[in-house]
Amino acid sequence: MTVTGPHRHAFSVPLRHGRVLELGARCLVMGIVNVTPDSFAETARTFDPAAAIEAALRAEADGADIVDIGAESTRPGAVPIDADEERRRLLPVVRGLAGRIRIPISVDTYKADVARAALQEGAAIVNDVSGLRRDAALADAVAHAGAAIILMHTRGTSADMNARAHYADVVAEVSAELSGSVQAAVERGVPLDAILVDPGIGFAKRPDHSYGVLARLPEIAVALGRPIVAGPSRKSFLRAASGNRDAPGRDWATAAAVTAAVLGGAHVVRVHAVAEMIQVVRAAEEILKMAVSRQP
């Protein structure tokens, strides 16, 4: 781990089949593709596999470094689906992208059986919004496949996460709870080098908690010593700042949050509007370079 900026360190994250995800020189952009009928954040539906495949390829063409495919909504209040239904939605998309897309495929799931099947079809990263708290065997699937994993912070489930949003010090508690997730993954055979962490903006957090996490990302990075993924895109904590617009209308507010994430040292930002947020990330990186150049 070597310093490349005031808050961002360099990491080499091993992926499957000898690939490596290099993090730190710049903030990478992860494009979101939801294969769900109830996504809160999109105007164009990608529930059809062919539409989802085209959306992922378009994200790559627009400059995404990773594409993240999710087949179950995990927003507050979402209704869970079983593993069979999640596989039915997800696997045709992963299978259709394998061999066609050059960037790594991430799958957004907390279920071991779903992750195992997606990894067999060509996924390289598992994005676990539960931080191994829903299905600890997910770590076994990741370790066996030689994949990478993103461990996100949350509390409870979609049904009760908002009721669990109580913190004395949100950054200290998020860091401690994420540290427990990292330790659980390592104990089940996932190499530390293959783990990224996400503080879970908008999950089991009131708006002030989410803004607090964004403002103090460097502290989380120091506490955990792992690459940071930030996902503020179109989240409800931005509602008031965006004039109470619905999720697709929050891209300007998202741009501010993405800028804060980049300046705070995020290694990856997870976004819906890839083409627009690529410009935001690049401009924020130039600001960050100037900040670095003025340091003694």
Residue 78 confidence (pLDDT): 74
Within 13 Å and on the Cβ side, how many CA atoms surround 39? Answer: 21
What is the pLDDT, as a whole number, of residue 234?
A: 96
Place of tokens 């783990």: 195
In the prediction, which pLDDT does 7 show?
63
Q: 105-133 as b/e, with b when 16 or more CB fall inside 10 Å?
A: bbbbbbbbbbbbbbbebbbbbbbbbbbbb
Given this model, what pLDDT does residue 5 score?
43
- The residues annotated with a catalytic role in the active site are 235, 270
* Distances, alpha carbon 273 to alpha carbons 21, 59, 91, 121, 233, in Å: 22, 9, 23, 26, 8
Is the dihedral angle over the CA atoms 21, 23, 25, 29 positive or is it negative?
Answer: positive
Instruction: Find, among 101, 119, 156, the residue nearest to 134 by Cα.
Output: 156
| pLDDT string in tens for the chain (296-residue length) | 443 445 689 999 999 999 999 999 999 999 999 998 755 555 455 578 999 999 999 999 999 999 999 999 877 777 889 999 999 999 999 999 999 999 999 999 999 999 999 999 999 999 999 999 999 999 999 999 999 999 999 998 888 899 999 999 999 999 999 999 999 999 999 999 999 999 999 999 999 999 999 999 999 999 999 999 999 999 999 999 999 999 999 999 999 999 999 999 999 999 999 999 999 999 999 999 888 776 65
Distance CA 129, CA 25 (A): 26
pLDDT score recorded for residue 2: 41
Task: Give me the pLDDT at residue 60, please.
Answer: 98
Instruction: State how far the Cα of 170 lies from the Cα of 212, in Å rounded to an integer.
Output: 7
pLDDT, residue 292, reads 72
Domains for the chain: give ranges and CATH numbers. Answer: 28-227 (3.20.20.20)
Q: What angle, rounded to 10 degrees, do the helices at 207-215 and 217-224 form?
A: 70
